[in-house]
Structure 1
Amino acid sequence: MFSIAIQQQQYKTYILTDETVGSQVEVVPERGGIITRWRVKGEEILYLDTERFTHPELSVRGGVPILFPICGNLPDNSYTLNGQQYTLKQHGFARELPWEVLDQVTKDKAALTLVLKSNEQTKAVYPFDFQVVFTYELQGDTLEIRQQYENLSSTQMPFSFGFHPYFQVGDKNQLELEIPSQEYLDQQTKEIHPFNGKFDFNRDEIDFAFGQITSQSASVTDHSRKLKLTLDSDNVFSVLVFWTLKGKDFYCLEPWSALRNSLNTGERLTLLEPGDSYTASVRLRANFF
């Protein structure tokens, strides 16, 4: 049995439920189209700073924020296109703008479809007409995010995209990391290091980008929670970022389509011709053992 309920909390919240296995996803369209909660067998999978969430002027720390039309930040938050300079904040604007609900499905799965369209506000910082459609699908212990990016402009549209999921963690020292790469870039020092499956969680911040992945599947097993999380993504997601802060009960495993600053460097950018669309998918699975 699948259902979708609507609750008026601080924001209108859509609650997708698979009653057979006891899994649930909460989505807040007007706050960046974000997934705020995901439960499997009654256990919270995601981390959410609920106090920070109540302040609309602050970025959300938790849930599954959407990254578009860039991942990461740009130097001085700026990029140049056709000789003109634009200002674009870290991770872009999709996570801050209200999305609209297009469709709801409760047959064979619980699915909610949202859309974000360009407007004068977005064109001031990103001069393109676009439409982005996401469908969140819940079935059993799996959450899938289907995406469609459409260029409605008369010129080629460059962009990158991804997600910034925050996962609850018990004891970080009991995390077993299976990331399909042999090296990572330390975003703070800009140094490349070999990866042996371990991190020093005594560091104040870990911000590592795996830009040379050999598989589209990664997993993190939290032995303190007896929970294995698996992230499977389409080939376009060529970067995985692992981020956490000391003293915080979360870690982030983020699929990105390109490295930070790609709007300036052009590296791994998705280039969409006028009238064309591009589809992609990310799947998350939560298994308790």
Structure 2
Amino acid sequence: MSKHYIQTNESRLEVVPERGGIITSWRVQNQEVLYLDEERFANPQLSVRGGIPILFPICGNLPDNTYTLNGKQYTLKQHGFARDLPWEVTNQVTQDKDSLTITLSSNEQTRAVYPFDFQLAFTYQIDGNTLEIKQQYTNLSTEPMPFSTGFHPYFLTVDKTQLKFEIPSQEYQDQMTKETHSFNGDFDFNRDEIDVAFKQLSSQSATVTDHARKLKLTLEYDDTYSTLVFWTVKGKDYYCLEPWSAPRNAINTGEHLTVLKPQASHTATVRLTANFF
């Protein structure tokens, strides 16, 4: 598997295009920001746990992994197929702002589960201690194309009780119970698994301060993104704070679903800044 690197004085990004275009490592001031389960990553049969997987054309899972479109039923696995398919490197720039552009185009395999022709082009760019992901989604079909999109970053942590969250929402929905709870900035890390969605976002930025690692992470996202998902598993050295354009099952419910007209494009941006203090 070929790795591509983008490097500046302050940070270094490692991307593996053929494993879903994934960012596998992001080092800032020689410190790793992301978690990666190397063993799972080495096995192409397993989904990757770590790095920054790409979610498209759905985020989360569907009831029975199925959705219905124009009276026809299709099967889509959790988070869609973009994270499992090889992406192609189409451009690499190494001047002032180092960047790498990768693309994914529809093929027979994708059309069987998602009946559209599309092209995705993502540009990973680093500038100092900021990583920017610019995305372009193009509908090459003759029909309107519904989708949601997102990222699933795994952030490395050594002591979750030392994490301080500033999430621009006062409530979240628990994925397990479907109940809505008010949010005061804290999670109960004694639980085996936390899987919650913040849907009512009041701003386009969230921060997590990890006092154990002396790291302040800022996640910024444009108005494409309606939802932030927080997920972690007890005993694992990661937490995930995921920007999603729509909540799970949006392709069935229509909630915050993006629908692209034929031959139209949609652009979106997500930005991560890592400050070690």
TM-score (normalizing by structure 1): 0.95
Match of 1:8 in 2: none
Match of 1:160 in 2: 148
RMSD: 0.4
Match of 2:3 in 1: 13
Match of 2:231 in 1: 243
Match of 1:276 in 2: 264
The SS at the match of 2:186 is: coil
What stretches of structure 1 move > 2 A for 4+ residues in a row? none
Q: In the alignment, residue 229 of structure 2 is paired with which amino acid?
A: V
Shift of 1:15: 1.0
Rounded Cα–Cα distance in structure 2 between residues aligned with 1:42 and 1:52: 24
Kindly, what percent of the aligned residue pairs are identical?
A: 70
Shift of 1:110: 1.0
The SS at the match of 2:109 is: helix
Match of 2:212 in 1: 224
Rounded Cα–Cα distance in structure 2 between residues aligned with 1:208 and 1:95: 21
Q: In the alignment, residue 209 of structure 2 is paired with which amino acid?
A: T
Encode CA deviations 1:177-225: one digit per residue, 9 max, x unaligned.
0000000000000000000100000000000100001001000000001
How many residue pairs match? The answer is: 277
Rounded Cα–Cα distance in structure 2 between residues aligned with 1:268 and 1:173: 33
Rounded Cα–Cα distance in structure 2 between residues aligned with 1:15 and 1:114: 13
Is the aligned partner of 1:64 residue 2:62? Answer: no
Superposed, 1:1-289 pairs within 5 Å as: 11-18=1-8, 20-21=9-10, 23-289=11-277
In structure 2, runs of 5+ residues without a counterpart are: none
Shift of 1:233: 0.3
Rounded Cα–Cα distance in structure 2 between residues aligned with 1:217 and 1:268: 19
Rounded Cα–Cα distance in structure 1 between residues aligned with 2:91 and 2:224: 26
Match of 1:3 in 2: none
The SS at the match of 2:51 is: coil
Rounded Cα–Cα distance in structure 2 between residues aligned with 1:221 and 1:161: 26
Q: In the alignment, residue 268 of structure 2 is paired with which amino acid?
A: A
Rounded Cα–Cα distance in structure 2 between residues aligned with 1:55 and 1:123: 25
Shift of 1:236: 1.2
Rounded Cα–Cα distance in structure 2 between residues aligned with 1:13 and 1:114: 13
Rounded Cα–Cα distance in structure 1 between residues aligned with 2:200 and 2:127: 31
Shift of 1:109: 1.1
